[in-house]
Chain A
Amino acid sequence: MLESSEPPRARFELDDRGFDEVPRKYRKYYRKWLGDGDELAPNEVFCPVCKIVVRSTREIREGDRIYCMACMTRMRVVRGANGQLEGRVEY
């Protein structure tokens, strides 16, 4: 399988960053984008629809599916023109 030939993914313990726009049980999956100077961790992707940061318990890679609950959007992770990973909306 393709997955097994890749290095294992880093795992992340998600903490509550105070994102209060989703039910409490989902809060840890999201945080606000802090603007210039903010950086995405390996387990984070920027939501292009509502401009927040989506977080995962594992390192995010190209081809992954992620969900933004703040704007109810499903995304596929792609590598953008600048080489960074970003979410592309799937309808």
Chain B
Amino acid sequence: MTGPAGIASDVHAARPEDFRREVRSFTFWLDSVREYVPSAYGETLPPDDVAKEDRDALVTVLSSYIVGETMALEGAGALVRTAPNREAKIFLATQTADEGRHLEILTQRMNELGAPDIDHAIRTRVNPFLLEFRDRLLELVEAGRWEHALFAQNVILEAMEFAAFCNHMENADPRTRAILEDIVKDERRHIGFGENELGRALARDERLRNELARLRMELDYLVLGSFEHTLSELRIPARERPTVKRSYLDAVARLGFA
């Protein structure tokens, strides 16, 4: 049993149920984001120094990120209703807030870069693989298929974003890098939630495992196609792209989908 000091006295000595209750609580989320979310956009960001010739490519990449964050916002918000228990509903409420914040800061970055018409940028710049993935994900959400939607959103989409953002950070201008670093801090929680939630369900349900394996095969084409587009826009050499995709492939492999 965890003592009066809570699990802070030694995190690794906590009982699994105490750890889980703590990290999925609203208070844990609030105390975490208080540490790094600025009170206003731009407050802690370095100056904007993107070269004129690089702005167009950056707008294209950010357009894809905005599509990803918008679908995650709509998905997480809608999944609150489908989630099978209160703990998961509370976590998804915090994820919804995170995704809304991501959408807002990416929109502000687009505006800074001289692309105020986000819808036009999405129509003309975002790769069709990602748009089809969005449609498929939201179908699963609307159908109320908890495990399937969670797999598509918190495992596949979040792992894809995590890999793309981490790679982009290495070569981004300082202002965009700071924004992506900030977003990735939230993404860690979202990835972990999806993987842990599904890991437990898959351990006791062979039928679900087969269904998600089929879904993974169906979505892989869209995920990998979208990756290729984004990595190409980021000018990542072809020889380095398998390394970036590795993070996504590792996540599904840990769940038994090698």
Q: Which residues of A contact B (CB under 8 A)?
A: 20-26, 29, 48-52, 56-57, 64-74, 89, 91
A24 & B36 in contact (Cβ 8 Å cutoff): no
Chain B residues whose C-beta falls within 8 Å of the C-beta of A68 in the assembled complex: 192
B32 & A50 in contact (Cβ 8 Å cutoff): no
Bound complex: CA A48 to CA B10 (Å): 21
Pull 10 A–B residue pairs with CB atoms less than 8 Å apart, ordered by A. A20-B36, A23-B28, A29-B12, A48-B250, A48-B254, A51-B166, A56-B12, A65-B12, A70-B185, A74-B20
Bound complex: CA A59 to CA B128 (Å): 50
Within the complex, what minimum Cβ distance (angstroms) separates B175 from chain A? Answer: 19
Bound complex: CA A91 to CA B188 (Å): 16
Assuming the A-B contacts A23-B31, A70-B189, are A91 and B196 also in contact, with contact meaning beta carbons closer than 8 angstroms in the complex?
yes
Give B91's nearest chain A residue, CB to CB.
A72
Within the complex, what minimum Cβ distance (angstroms) separates A26 from chain B? Answer: 6
A89 & B188 in contact (Cβ 8 Å cutoff): no
A89 & B199 in contact (Cβ 8 Å cutoff): yes
Chain B residues whose C-beta falls within 8 Å of the C-beta of A51 in the assembled complex: 166, 247
B11 & A73 in contact (Cβ 8 Å cutoff): no
Interface check B191, CB cutoff 8 A = yes
Interface check B23, CB cutoff 8 A = yes
A24 & B12 in contact (Cβ 8 Å cutoff): no
Q: Count B-side interface residues using an 8 Å CB cutoff.
A: 33
Bound complex: CA A84 to CA B251 (Å): 20
Q: Could you tell me the dominant secondary structure of chain A's interface residues?
A: loop
B195 & A89 in contact (Cβ 8 Å cutoff): yes
Chain B residues whose C-beta falls within 8 Å of the C-beta of A22 in the assembled complex: 32, 35
A70 & B35 in contact (Cβ 8 Å cutoff): no
**Top 8 A-B residue pairs of the complex, sorted by shortest distance between their CB atoms:** A91-B199, A71-B192, A23-B31, A50-B188, A72-B23, A20-B35, A72-B192, A71-B188
Assuming the A-B contacts A66-B12, A69-B23, A91-B200, are A21 and B36 also in contact, with contact meaning beta carbons closer than 8 angstroms in the complex?
yes
Within the complex, what minimum Cβ distance (angstroms) separates B14 from chain A? Answer: 7
Bound complex: CA A36 to CA B51 (Å): 29
Bound complex: CA A68 to CA B12 (Å): 9
Interface check B16, CB cutoff 8 A = yes
User: Which of B162, B193, B203, B251 lies in contact with A72, CB distance below 8 A?
Assistant: B193
Residues of chain B in range 154-196 having any CB-CB distance to chain A below 8 Å: 162, 166, 185, 188-189, 191-193, 195-196
Residues 227-255 of chain B: 1 if any A CB is under 8 Å from the residue's CB, otherwise 0?
00000000000000000000100110010
Residues 6-34 of chain B: 1 if any A CB is under 8 Å from the residue's CB, otherwise 0?
00101110101001100110001001100
